[in-house]
Structure 1
Amino acid sequence: MGEEKVKLIVFDIDGTLVDSQNFIVEAQRRAFASHGLPAPTRQQALSVVGLSLVEAFRALTEGQGPCEKLAQAYKDAWTQLRAEPGFHDPIYPGAEDLLRELAACENCVLGIATGKSRAGVTRLFDRHGWHDFFATVQTADDAISKPAPDMFLRALAETGVQPRHACMVGDTTFDMHMAHNAGAHAIGVGWGYHRHEKLTKAGAAKIVQDFGSLRETLDEFMQCATT
């Protein structure tokens, strides 16, 4: 995998591959309610998607809340929501087709870098049969939260790919900053939880509006001769 012709494409999950916004907002609401605290607005709730749970609650409470307890309450709420038929976190249309196509390519390997827990990623992969798609999976249990480069650096080390031959695909500024902090490329998706202008300011080389455009952009990335 260390050959220069091989490219590493790392995907975020929430807001990039999976539309989990209703789960996230409601789980946060229940977590705050369990501690007698007012819930954040929907915009505030989604603004921290991509961070690890403790870091997310630290941001939402400005460091003044019981972040560890809120994180656990959030996990408990997420488990409860899975048993309720009114809530689901669907894959974005086109996501699975793109992953299958890329996983079959000889000149790239795929990775995951997410603020989800390892258990949460495993459940997602079990549900959709994605285990064989990814050569490296980095979660909130494995490394320091985005936007630190640690997750991406671990992905590079596990695949043997150089930063200049790797890119991050995500919907938040945390994804863009993580990629740049690791010396890699960054592609923003326009259907997620952070606004386009923020993604551009954070260093997104391009922002795509659908999975067809993302495939074209990734084809260009894989074909380009980086130096």
Structure 2
Amino acid sequence: MINNYFFDFDKTLASSGNASVSATKEAYKSMGLTVPNTNSILSYMGIPAEISFKKMAVEKLDSKQILQLTDKFRSIYQDVELQSTKLYPGILEMLQQLSHEKKNLFIVSSKKTDAVKRNLKNLKIIGFFNAVVGFDMVKNYKPAPDGILLLIDIYHLNKVESIMVGDAKYDIQMGHAAGVKTCGALWDAFDVQGLTKAHPTYLIDQPKQLLKLE
């Protein structure tokens, strides 16, 4: 039986529309850098901007420039995220049912913790979750298992009863590394092939299917 659910946020529970892509492009443009294309940006979603932005840059960037770039991105993104971020169909009902069944629900995200909480509050779903772990709360980011292991340690959770749910291969790789079950969420996954090749325990295309997993 699954009692502990670790969720990714972006493109798993909610969509921010084009906000992340447009904010990324605007940040690069504002610093006079080569602007990455949409597919490149989407392919790196799931890992922190501090890592992905350096990988996407054509120019060689030092740590100060990366900090400026990510700060600019988050400033632009925050201006539009609340208007553009929406829950996927079926997510609220799924969370309500899991909560009714007294399951333990957590968020493990590559976003900053305060940003995820801001989104959860705006979407009026923060009350469903026991805790939120962003990339700023761990030493090693996805696909390292640190976020999940931190929560398992704090809440004394059984790995056998735990599952990581996400739309990206990084989520599945993190779950495998943590020793928990994994579930690929297909409803807005950018890289379905990569997600499938990561060999999740389960693959689902509707949130309600999560309720039937064991």
TM-score, normalised via structure 1 length = 0.85
Q: Distance in 2 between matches of 1:162 and 1:140?
A: 23
What SS is found at the alignment partner of 1:167? strand
Gap regions ≥5 residues in structure 1? 222-227
Q: How does 1:183-202 map to 2 (within 5 A)?
A: 183-202=179-198
Q: Distance in 1 between matches of 2:29 and 2:189?
A: 23
Shift of the alpha carbon at 1:72? 0.7
Q: Are the counterparts in 2 of residues 200 and 206 from structure 1 also a CA contact under 8 Å?
A: no
Q: Distance in 1 between matches of 2:143 and 2:119?
A: 23
1:138 aligned onto 2:133: yes
Shift of the alpha carbon at 1:128? 2.5
Shift of the alpha carbon at 1:125? 2.1
CA deviations over 1:56-100 (Å, ceiling 9, x no partner): 2122127833322211111111123248xxx61211111111111
Q: Are the counterparts in 2 of residues 114 and 140 from structure 1 also a CA contact under 8 Å?
A: yes
Find the counterpart in structure 2 of residue 110 from structure 1.
Answer: 105
Gap regions ≥5 residues in structure 2? none
Find the counterpart in structure 2 of residue 100 from structure 1.
Answer: 96
Quickly say closer, same or farther: Cα 1:82–1:19, change in 2 above 3 A. closer
Find the counterpart in structure 2 of residue 225 from structure 1.
Answer: none
Q: Distance in 2 between matches of 1:165 and 1:149?
A: 16
What SS is found at the alignment partner of 1:169? strand
Q: Distance in 1 between matches of 2:179 and 2:56?
A: 29
Find the counterpart in structure 2 of residue 13 from structure 1.
Answer: 9
Q: Distance in 2 between matches of 1:198 and 1:95?
A: 23
Matched residue count: 210
1:70 aligned onto 2:66: no
Correspondent of 2:205 among 193, 201, 209:
209
Q: Distance in 2 between matches of 1:8 and 1:189?
A: 17
CA deviations over 1:125-179 (Å, ceiling 9, x no partner): 2212223211121112211210011001011112211222211000001100000
Find the counterpart in structure 1 of residue 36 from structure 2.
Answer: 40
Q: Distance in 2 between matches of 1:128 and 1:196?
A: 26
Correspondent of 2:144 among 148, 153, 160:
148
Shift of the alpha carbon at 1:122? 1.9
CA deviations over 1:20-67 (Å, ceiling 9, x no partner): 240110010111011111221111111111111201212212783332
Correspondent of 2:124 among 105, 116, 129:
129
